[in-house]
Amino acid sequence: MGALLTVDDLRVDIATPRGTLRAVRGLTFSVNAGETLCIVGESGCGKSMTSLALMDLLPRVAKRSAATLNFADTDLSDRRKARRIRGNQMAMIFQEPMTALNPAFPIGDQLTEAYLHHKGGSRAAARARAVEMLDLVGIGSPAERLGQYPHQLSGGLRQRVMIAMALMTDPKLLIADEPTTALDVTIQAQILRLLRDLQQKLGIAVIFITHDLGLVSRIADRVMVMYAGAMVEEGTAAQIFGAPRHPYTQALIECIPQPGRTARGTPLGTIPGVVPSLVGQIEGCVFRSRCPLARRECESHVPTRGAEGHRWVCVDDAPAPALEGTTR
């Protein structure tokens, strides 16, 4: 069975006064129908640029290139074909709802716009669908909410409006960029279960971008870890959390405050050093400037190790030292 989405050597270059900022540096991955791929990585590593590139919604200054960009046997580099898929079979939940929603229009208009464009039908039918979707994501009195403007909604309500909007057209692939950061954990759990049910019922594939590693461990079929625009490790949730192989993945997992393990009020573990500048090439391993295990070989080309299921980019192939509670 072929993958629903196939991405080979995806790159995003941004022209800046300081030179070309290479926000995404040759990503290769695929997503199957019904599958959840979680993307994690440091802030600024290119997660949002990756999703915007898939949707062909990059800012004007950014340029996309890829060897392959395929969605359900359609070549997404054909912009005309891609336009029919975007916002229809492929929908996105944006990271900052306040910037993605138009402040000048009531949310009802924004919910129905793409639906009317792709599915046609009457305005009344589109509004009925919008009410149904708002109800599904747990917004009470949905009909009343349709007339409200984005600034009249709380952060979490806006986020759920975005989720409802993405579900309007029954997409096959949902790209969700930090969709639950403004939700309390009980509602987050309800939304995650809703997504899971939809996935099982309709076979929707989900690319889920988040910083919440606990959440990732619970919902991911596969996890891709990014650093400085590149993939550093990919595997199943069990592999990434049970036996992480890349030093960045290991360090990141160590930073989470863990109830019962990190004493309240004490300093938390961090990764010393700063991310390298993304302008221009980075020779060798992208993480080497902060890696405790860095050595000479890391400055040259670094191999991708592992088998299909679990791969990581590192000079080391030896089993990783077991994660221990070093950051007490």
Ligand X SMILES: Nc1ncnc2c1ncn2[C@@H]1O[C@H](COP(=O)(O)OP(=O)(O)OP(=O)(O)O)[C@@H](O)[C@H]1O
- Strands of the sheet with 311-313, listed across from one edge: 90-93, 173-177, 205-209, 36-41, 222-227, 230-236, 311-313, 304-306
Judged by the rule CB under 6 A, the positions of this chain that interact with ligand X are 14, 16, 21, 23, 43-49, 59, 61, 95, 151-157, 182, 278
Binding-site member from 2, 19, 121, 257 for another protein (CB under 8 A): 257
203 lies in the site for Mg ion, by CB under 5 A: no
Q: Which does 196 bind (CB under 5 to 8 A by kind): ligand X, Mg ion, another protein, none?
A: another protein
| Sole window of 30-38, 118-126, 191-199, 296-304 interacting with another protein (rule: CB under 8 A) | 191-199
15 lies in the site for another protein, by CB under 8 A: no
Task: Tell me whether residue 141 or residue 200 sits nearer to ligand X (CB atom).
Answer: 141
277 lies in the site for another protein, by CB under 8 A: yes
Q: Which does 262 bind (CB under 5 to 8 A by kind): ligand X, another protein, Mg ion, none?
A: another protein
Binding-site member from 6, 36, 48, 50 for Mg ion (CB under 5 A): 48
Cα pseudo-dihedral 63, 66, 68, 72, rounded to 10? -30
Q: How far is the CB of 38 from another protein (least distance, A)?
A: 11
| Sole window of 116-124, 267-275, 292-300, 305-313 interacting with another protein (rule: CB under 8 A) | 267-275
Q: How far is the CB of 276 from ligand X (least distance, A)?
A: 11
Q: Which residue is nearest to ligand X (CB)?
A: 156
DSSP 299: G
- Name the maximum alpha-carbon separation found in the chain: 66
H helix intervals, the chain:
47-55, 79-85, 97-100, 107-119, 123-136, 142-145, 155-167, 185-202, 213-219, 237-242, 247-254
C-alpha span between 247 and 297 (Å, rounded)? 15
Q: How far is the CB of 201 from another protein (least distance, A)?
A: 16
CA torsion through residues 296, 302, 303, 304, sign: positive
241 lies in the site for another protein, by CB under 8 A: yes
C-alpha span between 186 and 190 (Å, rounded)? 6
Q: Tokens representing 255?
A: 């930073």
Q: How far is the CB of 100 from another protein (least distance, A)?
A: 10
